[in-house]
Amino acid sequence: QVQLKESGPGLVQPSETLSLTCTVSGFSLTSYSVSWVRQPSGKGPEWMGRMWYDGDTAYNSALKSRLSISRDTSKNQVFLKMNSLQTDDTGTYYCTRDQSTASDWFAYWGQGTLVTVSS
C-alpha cells in the first residue's frame, strides 16, 4: 500500500528556512520519483520540485534559487528545504508520487502539512 506522509513545523518566521520531511512506504525511492507540491489557501496547486528515482532533481524555476530537495533512501525519506520564507509561502505542502515509472501525473498524495509564515 503506497503511503506518503509529510512532517515539519507548522509555523515559520519570515526570512527563515522551512524544512519538511516526506516519509514514504509501500514503494522504493529508487524506483519512483517524488515531487513536492504546495497550495495556498483557495488557490491552485504549484509544483515545486522533484526527486527523480535516480537521485537527480528538478526545480520550479520560480523557486530554484531558494529550494533544495534531497533524500535518504535507507530511511525512505525525501526532504525539502526552502530559505528566505515570506508570508506568501504560507499554504499546504504535499509530497506526491507518480502513478508509475512511466508516468508524469501524481496518483498518490500525502495528507499535506499546513505551513504558516508569520512572526
Partner 1 sequence: IQLTQSPSLLSASVGDRVTLSCKGSQNINNYLAWYQQKLGEAPKLLIYNTNSLQTGIPSRFSGSGSGTDYTLTISSLQPEDVATYFCYQYNNGWTFGGGTKLELK
Applying CB under 8 A, the residues found at the interface with partner 1 are 35, 37, 43-47, 50, 60, 94, 99, 103-107, 109-112
Minimum Å gap between C-beta 73 and partner 1 is 23
Nearest to 2 by CA among 23, 24, 18, 33: 24
Neighbours of 14 (CB within 10 A): 12
CB 79 within 8 A of CB 69: yes
Cα distance between residue 43 and residue 23, in whole Å: 26
Of 27 and 47, CB closest to partner 1: 47
Minimum Å gap between C-beta 109 and partner 1 is 4
Minimum Å gap between C-beta 80 and partner 1 is 16
Of 16 and 66, CB closest to partner 1: 66
